[in-house]
Chains A and B, each alone.
Chain A
Amino acid sequence: MNAPNKSGWKPAMAVDEDGLHNGPQTTTGNRALMLEEPLLFEIGHAETTGVDLPEFDPDASSRLGGFERSDPIGLVGLTEPETVRHYTRLSRQNYGIDLGFFPLGSCTMKHNPRLNEKIARLPGFADVHPLAPQSTVQGALEVVHQLGHWLCTLTGMPAVAMSPKAGAHGELCGILAIRAAHIARGDARKVVLVPESAHGTNPATAAFAGYEVEDIAATAEGRVDVEALKARLGPDVAGVMITNPNTCGLFEKDFREIADAVHDAGGYVYCDGANFNAIVGRVRPGDLGVDAMHINLHKTFSTPHGGGGPGSGPVVLSEALAPFAPLPFVRQTEDGAFELVEEERREDTRDQTFGRMTAFHGQMGMFTRALTYMLSHGADGLKQVAEDAVLNANYILRSMEDVLHAPFAESGPCMHEALFGDKDFGGDLSTLDLAKGLIDEGFHPMTVYFPLVVHGAMLVEPTETESKASIDQFITAFRSLVERAVAGDESLKQAPYYAPRRRLDETGAARKPKLSWTEPTE
C-alpha cells in the first residue's frame, strides 16, 4: 500500500459533526489562498482603461457614413494591475495539467511542453498575415508542408487536409470528402453507420453533413459487432465512422476486415482519430484500410487545451478521397518553393475539391506547436509515447480491477485508457459522487458517463507524461474512494467539500438561463 503522500504526513480523518473541517468564518469569505473574485462588471468602470491612447474627440471629423455610435456600449475596463490580478485570481479556481493528474478519458490531457509555446510566439509565425504575399511567408508554408509530411508518414496515408479547425471540424471534412466522392460517381448514399460507443460528435457530424445515422451494435467484449455490421452494409450505406482504439479503450482488432467489407459494399471508412495517441509511431492506420481520419493535434501532439480550445483537426485521406479535399492546401513546386493553392485548378491533384471549410488555412498556431512536439520526440520518442501511455493505462486497469467493476477487463489489454463502471456501488452512490470525491483528493476526475455503453462509465486516461509515483498516488486515492462508494458512504453525496465551489445547481441554470451579466435591479 502506498503512502497517501510523499512527505509522510498522514491526514487526520477526524471531522466535526457536519463532516467538515470548518474553522471560523472569515469576514471576506476568502480562505487564505482560496480567494473569492467578483465579476469584471462589478469592479470595472466605463471610464477606466488599462491602455494609453489619444483621448476620444467627439468633434473630430469622421467618414463613418452617419453610422457613428451614439449610445454607450456597456463595457467596463480595469487598469493593468487590476486586470492581471482579476484574471490571476480567477485562474486559481481552475484545475490544469500543470497542477496535477488529469486523467480525462478520451481527452488526452498530457503535459504541454513550453518550448512549443515559445516557438509559436516567434514573430515570424505569430505576426504573419494569412493573405500576405506568398514570397513573404515561405517559412510558414514550409511548416504546414512539413507537418503534413509527418502526419502522412505517421499514419501511412497519402494525403492530408490541414485546414479543419478542431476534431469535429476534421470529422466534417472527412465525411464531406466521402459524400463528395459518392456524389461524383453518381451514387449519393444516405446512411452512415456509427457504433453506440462513438463520441457524440460522430453522429452529429454525419447528420450535419446530411446523412441519416444508424447505430452499430457492440459485442459483449466491447468491440464493434462485425457480423451485425456486415449484415447492414448495402447500396444505401455511404460509410462507417469507427473510433480506433475505441472509446472502451480497446483496439478494434477486426478493423481491417471491417474496412474490406465496407469497401466491397462500395462504402468508405472514416476512422475517428481522437485516440491516435495510443498507437502513434507503432501502428499506421493506413495499413488498416482507413479512407479518412482526423488527428486532434491538441490530443496526440499536445497543443494546449486552453479551457476548451483552440484545437486543430487535420485529416489524412486515402488515394480515393484525396481529390475531394478542401481548399486551400500547400504544395511544393519543382523549384523547391512552397505554394498555397487557393483556387480550383484542373491541373491540381485536388481537381474535385468539395470546397472550403474555413476562411484561411487552418490553425497555424497549433501547427507550429505540434511540429515542435514531433521534432522533439522524433520517430523513436513518439513510439515511446504510445507505449508509455498504454503501459500506464494497463497498470491502472490491473491495479483497480479487484475492487472496481471493469467491464472489459477480460477483453485483452486496454490501450491508452481504462474503462470502469459503478455497478457495485452501495446505497444510491453513483459515478458522479466518486468523481466529486476525487476533486477533494486533489485530482481532476476521469471522464464520466461516457461511453454510454457502460453504466456509470469512468474512463481513465493517464497519458505518458505521468510518473509512476503520480499514478500510484492516484491509485491509492481512487481505491479508497471506491471502497467508500461500495460501502455506501453517504458523505460522498455532498462532495466536493474543499473545491472553490460545492456542487453547482445545473438544473436551475438550465431552467432559468442567465447567460450574461445585468445590472442588479434593486
Chain B
Amino acid sequence: MRYLPLTDTDRSDMLAKIGAETIDDLFVDVPAVAQLDGPIRDLPMHASEMAVERHMKRLAGKNLAAGDAPFFLGAGAYRHHIPASVDTVIQRGEFLTAYTPYQPEIAQGTLQMLYEFQTQVARLYGCAVANASLYDGSTACWEAVAMAGRVTKRNRAVLSGALHPHYAQVVKTMAQFTGGTIADAQPAIAAEPDLDGLVSRIDDETSCVVVQYPDILGRISDLSKLAEAAHEKGALLIAVNTEPVALGAIKSPGEMGADIVVGEGQAIGVGLQFGGPYLGLFAVRDPKHVRQMPGRLCGETSDAEGKRGFVLTLSTREQHIRREKATSNICTNSGLCALAFTVHMTLLGEKGLRELAAENHRLACHAADRLAKVPGVSLLNNAFFNEFTIMVNGKPSRELVRDLADRGVLGGVSLGRLYPGIEALEQALLVAVTETTTEDDIEALATELETLLQETTA
C-alpha cells in the first residue's frame, strides 16, 4: 500500500515494544458486537494509482464541463478565468498541507496571507473589518442574521424577496430551531426591485433587513435608502453579494450604509467545482461590532524581538474557548479558498478588477441586447452588472434550459428550478455573462433560443 510506510518488521518491533502480541490486542476495548472478522465486505480492495485514475476520469468524462460549451450559468456561482499562477501557489505543500495557524511562530505564511485577505475583503465591501472566511455565502448570510440578533437583541429578520432562494432557505432552516422569525417574500417580476414594499415590512421588532446586491434577478438596489429605513427602526442592514467582481464596477455596500456585508467569494480564484468548496465572506462596517462577529480573525502583533507578526485573535468569541457561549460553532473555514481569492485579487489589483468588471459588463450588455432581439424574448432588467433576467414567451424556462443543454448550450439558470411551483416565475431565465463568454457563445445561445421558441410556436 503506497501510502503506508510501516513494514511488517516495523509493525512486529513496535508491537513488541508496546507489549502486545497482535494488532487485535490494541482493539480489545471494542465490544465483541462491533468486531469485524476481516475487511468490510461489499467494497473493493486497494487499487493502483493508474486504476483509480482511470475510474475517476471515466466519471469526470460523463460531465459537460463549462469550458466545453457556450455557458451562461450564474445564480450564485460564476465562471471566471483563473490565472495559472493561482493554482501553482495554492498547491505549495506549505499552504496545502498546513493546519489552522494555532502555532503562529511556524504559520506566519498562512497568517500574513489571511491578514491580506481580510484587508482586501474589507476594502472591496467598504467595511472596517472582515473575518478570515466562512464556509460559503449562504452560511455567511445566516451567520449575519444570527449576529444581528445578538447586536440588536431582537429576533425578527426581514428578507428581501430578491434574496437568492437557497440563501433564504438556509436562513429559514436555521431560524426554525433558534426561535427567530423570518419574514420573507417571493421575488416580484419587475424591472426594478420593490424597495418600498421591503421598507414597509420593517417594524420595531426587526433585527435586520437582508438584501442581495445585485439581487437574484441581477437588479441593482439603492442600498442607501434601505439603510436609512432600517436604521430609523433600529435594525441593521445586511447586504449579500454573490458576485464580488461586480464590486469593481458598482459602489460597495459599506459605503451605501450596510452594517454587515456578506457574500460568496467563489468568483475570484475559486472554480465552480459543482458547488463547493466555496468561500464565505463576512465583514462589518462599524469596528464596534467586531466582538460579535463569527469565525476566525487574524490580527497584527509583534514577537519577543519586536518583529511584526500575525496571530489568530479575539478567540474568546470562538467555540474552542467559549464552548456553548461562542458566537458560532464554526471551526474549520475556507482557508485555502481564501488563499486562492487573495492570490487572484493580488494579480488583479485595483486596475485589473476594474477592467475585469468593465469587460464583464460590456459583454453582458451586448448579450442582453442580442437576446432581446430573439422573437419571444424580452429583457426584464433596467440595470444589471453581468447577470440579467430574460422573459421567454412560449415555453417554461426550466424546460428550455434542458432543451438547450440537449443542443450543447448551457443556457442559464431557470427561475422555475430555483422557485419550483411558482407559476409567475416560470417564464424567467437568468443569464450570466463573464469575460470567459465569447461573442460566438452569445450568438449560439441566441440562435438556439430562436430555434427552440420557433419550434414551440410552430
Contact = CB atoms under 8 A, between A and B. Distances in A.
A73 B313 contact: no
23 contacts: A45-B349, A47-B350, A49-B347, A67-B222, A74-B350, A96-B94, A97-B98, A165-B276, A167-B331, A199-B320, A208-B328, A288-B31, A306-B95, A307-B98, A307-B107, A359-B167, A360-B275, A375-B52, A394-B18, A399-B17, A436-B105, A504-B303, A513-B290
B346 A124 contact: no
A252 to B, nearest CB: 8
B56 A504 contact: no
A64 B250 CA distance: 7
Given A117-B91, A172-B329, A98 B119 contact: no
A306 B98 contact: yes
Nearest to B323: A203
Nearest to B120: A75
DSSP majority for the A interface?
Answer: loop
A9 interface: no
Interface string A483-522: 0000000000010100111111110111001111100000
B176 interface: yes
A60 interface: yes
Contact of A501 (B249, B309, B331, B350): B309
Contacts of A67: 220, 222, 250-251, 383
Contacts of B250: 64, 67-69
Contact of A209 (B177, B330, B406): B177
B324 A413 contact: no
Interface residues of A, number: 205
A71 B318 CA distance: 35
B249 A94 contact: no
B241 to A, nearest CB: 13
B6 A388 contact: yes
Q: Which of A50, A343, A382 has the most CB of B within 10 A?
A: A50
B244 to A, nearest CB: 11
A73 B53 CA distance: 44
B447 interface: no
B274 A69 contact: no
Interface stretch (B81-89, B204-212, B231-239, B449-457): B81-89
Contacts of A68: 249-251
B274 A360 contact: yes
A54 B359 contact: yes
B402 A122 contact: no
Contact of A136 (B3, B67, B410, B420): B410
Contacts of A500: 105-106, 108
B375 interface: no
A251 interface: yes
B339 interface: yes
A99 interface: yes
B429 interface: no
Interface string A298-338: 10000011111111100000000000001000000000000
Interface in B85-137: 85, 87-101, 103-110, 112-113, 115-116, 118-120, 122-124, 128-130, 132-133, 135-137
Nearest to A146: B59
B92 A88 contact: yes
Contact of B349 (A49, A66, A69, A98): A49
A93 B65 CA distance: 37
Interface in A338-368: 342-343, 354-366, 368
Contacts of A355: 169-170, 172-173, 176
A56 B275 contact: no
Given A117-B91, A125-B63, A200-B323, A502 B305 contact: yes
B62 to A, nearest CB: 3
Nearest to A172: B329
B67 to A, nearest CB: 5
Interface in B396-447: 401-402, 405-406, 410, 413, 417, 420-421, 435
A127 B299 contact: no
B458 interface: no
Q: Which one of A75, A83, A95 has the highest number of Cβ atoms from chain B below 10 Å of its Cβ?
A: A75
Nearest to B56: A119
Contacts of B391: none
Contact of B382 (A63, A104, A179, A209): A63
Contacts of A265: none
A209 B178 contact: yes
A491 to B, nearest CB: 13
B43 A365 contact: no
Chain B CB within 10 Å, residue with most, of A466, A503, A513 = A513
Nearest to B398: A133
B5 A502 contact: no
Interface in B248-283: 248-252, 255, 264, 271-278
Given A168-B329, A206-B324, A53 B79 contact: no
A503 B343 contact: no
Nearest to B298: A515
Contacts of A279: 27, 30
Given A204-B326, A281-B39, A514-B299, A504 B85 contact: no
A357 to B, nearest CB: 6
Nearest to A467: B5
A287 interface: yes
Interface string B1-41: 11111110011011101111001011111110111100111
Interface string B307-343: 1011101111011111111101111111111010011
Nearest to B113: A90
Given A68-B249, A200-B321, A124 B1 contact: no
Interface string B32-70: 011110011111111101001101111111111111100
A72 B350 contact: yes
Contact of A253 (B29, B359, B383): B29
B40 A281 contact: yes
Given A307-B99, A504-B302, 15 more contacts: A53-B352, A69-B248, A80-B85, A83-B346, A90-B108, A120-B273, A199-B320, A207-B324, A281-B39, A310-B276, A358-B136, A359-B264, A444-B103, A502-B105, A505-B302
A505 B65 CA distance: 48
A359 B164 contact: yes
> What are the 7 closest A-B residue pairs judged by CB atoms, nearest first?
A77-B349, A360-B275, A65-B383, A306-B336, A355-B173, A124-B60, A98-B93
